[in-house]
Amino acid sequence: MSLSGENIVFGYHKKPLVVPFSFSVESGKIIALIGLNGSGKTTFFKTLMGGVPLLSGTIKWEGRDLKDLSFAERHKIFSWLPARKVIEERLKVFEILTFSISSDSFREDVLSQMDEVIRLLNLEEFLELPYHLLSEGQKKKVEIAALLMKKSPVILFDEPSVFLDVSNQLELVKVIKNLSLEKGKTIFISSHNLDFLRACADVCWEISDTNIFIDKDIQSAFARYFDK
Amino acid sequence: MTSIKDILLKEKRKFRLWMLILLLVITVFSILELSLGSAGISFVEVFSPQNEYAEFVLREIRIPRLLTAILIGAALSFSGLVLQTVFRNPLVGPSVLGISSGASLGVALVTMAGFSLGHSDIPKVFAAILFSMSVLLLLFSVAGRFRDNASVLIVGMLISYLAGAVVDILIFVSDNDALKEYTLWGMGSFSRMNYGEILVVATLLLVAYIIVYKNRHLMNLYLIGELDEVNEKRKKRLIFLLIIVAGIITAFVTAFCGPIAFIGIAIPNLMRFVLKISDHKYLLPGTVLLGAAVAVMCDLLSAMPWSDHSLPVNAVTSLFGIPIIVFMIFKSRHKSL
């Protein structure tokens, strides 16, 4: 049980978005996060990242309270890919990847890990192209690659499949599955694309009217979601 | 396959080659600048002056002017680069925050509203620094209330117009001599600084450079959007720091040399175009050196060593800078490499 929460309430000071709930997530699991616009999916991610303070309760990573971790330590555990990211257009792909590590020189092992991520996402031929020349699918892959450079064990995806065509979505499903199975990453995916989620997720969390329903049976969770 | 290591190595080699070229260019232009002119000092005399006259001309006129050109070119390009990063806009320059307009207003008040003390430059410099710093403070007192940087840019431009309006009123009511003095200041010059002033501005630039260079990784992270949303506090702190640093540098440069046009916008673009790199680790030193080289070149051209006349520096920097900016606009709108 690597990530767990006890009686947590997240949201904003004047507007809590959920009633207190508890959870525990095993590492290597993929969690689908569904709910209407404004229900608090992104706020939950921001809370984990430390951008929004937790209103009450405790969240623990490997037994340590997140409150006791510094900003940098927190960002080593979690990385978040927002639905839209503002990346300077003229940057080349390899720059986006190296910038996310923040170093002047890279050790051999770091360099080979970078090459591994580049291979995983098939980005070799794009490395020296500027970002603005890429298609939406390629841009998304570059953003994911930059995220993976940070090697954090928990990854938060906000609408990763948006703008992607079917074949790119399938490729992304493979990458996400690979990350969870091979690398043991814990992955949260917030999305409205139920087909995409069905293909990836092990567990479903639904935020509905400040309640959180945690369901291991994806099909029935989606069916209930549809009924509303 | 291309590995990331090869690419990084290639970038590093390209950067080193260009730095070498720029240092060479600066050296050559510097020797030319010192040896060309109406005083008839030969190329050899630059290294060992033959008489007191040559020594005087070099020590009192040409060397300070050369140092000023190098310093101002470096300083304006530096603050241009910093502001272009802050506003994520390659067409922004040191003049956009209204800082140089503030300086202009200060100088206009001194020259045209009768606060001048004879021919001394000190009141002008003092007023220019005072007013440009006031603009910076004003900007910050309102900037905290905005969510985005674009608002800071808009307020800066509005302050510019406001200062311009007051300057226009002063121009309208002032006499010819004062008007000429103000106009000459506005044309910019590299011949107004003495060694002490050069030292002051150089020290400021050095400190500013070190501060910004230490933040190079954060600036890179800012460019890939890593500071958005969850790192807002760090982002705000970084932006505040960068604007203050660029603002102070611009204020001092403008106070001493007048509003020098276009170097600050054009040089960072030219450097990015030449290196095709956006990493601040390379861009910062590169831009500073290129700025110095181009400023010396512009000063050399403005002195027109082949004739007895000279041109205002601003005319030359505009003639040089505007084509580059136009080129950049075309380039950025055109979807090609």
Domain carrying residue B250: 4-333
Whole-number Å distance between alpha carbons of B194 and B63:
10
Tell me how close the Cα of B231 comes to any Cα of chain A, in angstroms.
Answer: 7
Q: How much is the mean pLDDT over chain B?
A: 87
Question: Is the pLDDT at B306 greater than 90, yes or no?
Answer: no
Whole-complex ipTM:
0.88
Whether the pLDDT of residue B210 is over 90: the answer is yes
B294 contacts B263 by C-beta, under 8 angstroms: yes
Query: Which residue, B166, B42, B52, is CA-closest to B103?
Result: B166
Per the structure, the count of domains in chain A is 1
Which of A61-70, A89-98, B190-199, B320-329 is the least confident region?
B320-329
Least confident of A185-189, B45-49, B330-334: B330-334
- The string of pLDDT tens digits covering residues B130-159 is 998 888 888 877 766 766 777 888 888 888
> Is B226 within 8 Å of A100 when comparing Cβ atoms?
yes
Q: Domain with A65 in it: what CATH number?
A: 3.40.50.300
The domain total for chain B is: 1
Show the tokens assigned to B96: 């956009």
Amino acid at B17: L
User: Which among B2, B217, B278 is the nearest to A95, CB-wise?
Assistant: B278
Report which DSSP code applies to B192.
S
Those of residues 81-140 in B touching chain A at CB distance below 8 A are 88, 90
Nearest CA in chain A to B224: A87
> Quick one: B24 exposed, middle or buried, by C-beta within 10 A (0-12, 13-18, 19+)?
exposed
Chain A positions in Cβ-Cβ contact with residue B268 (cut-off 8 Å): none
| Strand, coil or helix: B305 | coil
> In angstroms, what separates the C-alpha of B300 from chain A's closest C-alpha?
33
Compute the distance between CA of residue B305 and CA of residue B315 in angstroms, rounded to an integer.
Answer: 16
B127 Cβ contact list (under 8 Å, min separation 6): B106, B107, B109, B110, B115
pLDDT per residue as tens digits for the range B211-220: 999 999 999 9
Q: Confidence band (pLDDT; 50, 70, 90) for B117?
A: low
Contact call for residues B250 and B199 (beta carbons, < 8 A): no
Which of B14, B84, B224, B233 to mutate to test binding with chain A, by most A CBs within 10 Å of its CB?
B224
**The pLDDT value given to residue B21:** 97
Residue in A187, A184, A156, A186 with CA at minimum distance from that of residue A44: A156
pLDDT at residue B322 in the model: 86
Rounded Cα gap, residues B311 and A148, in angstroms: 56
CATH number at residue B214: 1.10.3470.10
Q: Return residues 228-247 of B near A (CB < 8 Å).
A: 228-232
Contact (CB<8Å) B223/A88: yes
C-beta neighbour count of B83 within 10 angstroms: 28
Region of B304 on the Ramachandran plot (φ > 0 left; ψ -120 to 50 alpha; else beta): left
Interface of A with B (CB under 8 A): 46, 49-51, 80, 82, 85-88, 90-92, 94-100, 102-104, 106, 111, 114-115, 118, 124, 127-130, 132-133, 146
Express as a percent the part of chain B with pLDDT over 70: 94
Most confident of A110-114, B21-25, B226-230: B21-25
The tens place of each residue's pLDDT in chain A, 228 residues long, gives 589 999 999 998 878 899 999 999 998 999 999 999 989 999 999 999 988 889 999 999 998 999 999 888 898 999 999 988 889 988 999 999 999 988 888 888 889 989 999 998 889 999 999 999 999 889 999 999 999 988 899 999 999 998 888 998 999 999 999 999 988 999 999 999 999 999 999 999 999 888 888 888 888 888 888 777
Question: A–B: how many Cβ contacts below 8 A?
Answer: 87
For the cut 80, the answer to whether the pLDDT of residue B16 exceeds it is yes
B-chain CB neighbours of A135 within 8 Å are none
B39 φψ region: left (φ > 0), alpha (ψ -120 to 50), beta (else): alpha
CB-based contacts of B95, cutoff 8 Å, min separation 6: B101, B160, B250, B259, B261, B264
Residue numbers in B near A114 (CB within 8 A): 4
Tokens of B69: 């050109």
pLDDT value of residue B137: 84
| Contact by Cβ (8 Å): A181, A27 | no
**Cα–Cα distances in angstroms (integers) from residue A158 to residues A201, B223, B243, in the given order:** 14, 20, 32
**Residue A38 CA to its chain's centroid (Å):** 18
User: Quick one: DSSP state of residue B225?
Assistant: T
Domain residue limits at A196: 3-227
Predicted confidence at residue B337, as pLDDT, reads 40
